[in-house]
Amino acid sequence: MRARIAALAALVSLPATGVAQARGYGPVVLQLPASTRAIGFGNAYVAVREAEAVFYNPANAGGRNLLAASAERYGTEAVAGAFAGAYAFGRAGVGIGAQLLDYHVTAARYPELAPNGEQLTQSGPFPASSLVATVGLAIPFKGVRWGVAAKVAQDRVSTGRDGVLLADLGAAKEIGPVSVGLSVQNLGTNPNVLGTSATVPTRATLGVAGAGLPVGPVDFAASAALSVRRGGRVSPAGGGEFSYMPIDGVIVAGRLGARYPESDAELPITMGASFTFDRVTLDYAFEPYQGEGSGHRVGLRVR
């Protein structure tokens, strides 16, 4: 009799225990693209040295002074934005950046949505947001650039919120005509909102990128990456870019990328385009989703 009572008590306690355990990955914004140009490459950007490198690989921060800002609309409900700056101080490079996601959820649970999932393009009665601020430092040593970044991230759902401190580590090196990058991101503790925790999306990513290959009247660039996320999920991604310079100082580019979807709602193909005049570049990217709504992102980069 006592054994039956104990077994019944254990069964009753399971739902309550499950609510307190991790229900997904968070902070949510850490799994969304942080660069308009990167989306065109399937978000494979770990080996690329641009302003937004602080979000992908701190070893590629700096090198030259750059600024970038972008905003994305998911359907009619969610809005994401990012700002990044890269600065060179002698041989060292510094990168700063911030990402923000504002959306709504159908229930006050955390995390209510799978990142890049249906919830980004659906409405809900409960407001939610996710943000992260990042500072990265890159220093060359023994022919390799080494980087470290510190992050302050926070998720909010309805009246609940929680912030965490995270860190990224990275390395990068030019090998012949290509650049190779390795990063380990989101090292830290799990956030907890409204009594439910989420698993920090710790991941290791290896990537390679190259640019400036002439193909007839155009130049070709490519980037590819392979990520392994906590839990064993393997995510390949990559894409290519064709650019054409009709006159000095003017460049028109188009991009096509592919990635392993984070959810059933996300489609694997991405697209992008750019128009550059002198030191200013206007970027556009498209992320298709199943059902209603898709992601449209515009960005501005200044060299």
Q: Tell me, yes or no, whether 198 lies in a domain.
A: yes
- Number of compact structural domains in the chain: 1
**Model confidence pLDDT, tens digit, residues 231-254:** 888 999 999 999 999 999 999 999
Confidence of residue 128 (pLDDT cuts 50, 70, 90): confident
Distance CA 50, CA 135 (A): 15
Q: Which of 23-37, 115-129, 173-187, 274-288 is predicted least confidently?
A: 115-129
pLDDT of res. 264: 62
More confident residue, 90 or 119: 90
Q: Tell me, yes or no, whether 72 lies in a domain.
A: yes
Distance CA 95, CA 85 (A): 6
**Model confidence pLDDT, tens digit, residues 42-98:** 999 999 999 999 999 999 998 889 999 999 998 777 899 999 999 998 889 999 999
| β-pair type (178-188, 192-193) | unpaired
Range of the domain at 164: 23-302
The structure's pTM equals 0.87
pLDDT of res. 20: 42
Q: Tell me, yes or no, whether 235 lies in a domain.
A: yes
Confidence of residue 266 (pLDDT cuts 50, 70, 90): confident
Q: Tell me, yes or no, whether 272 lies in a domain.
A: yes
Read off the pLDDT of each residue in 289-295 and give the average, rounded to a whole number. Answer: 75
Q: Tell me, yes or no, whether 83 lies in a domain.
A: yes
**DSSP state, residue 232:** T
Distance CA 217, CA 178 (A): 21
pLDDT of res. 111: 62
Q: Tell me, yes or no, whether 1 lies in a domain.
A: no
CATH assignment of the domain containing 82: 2.40.160.60
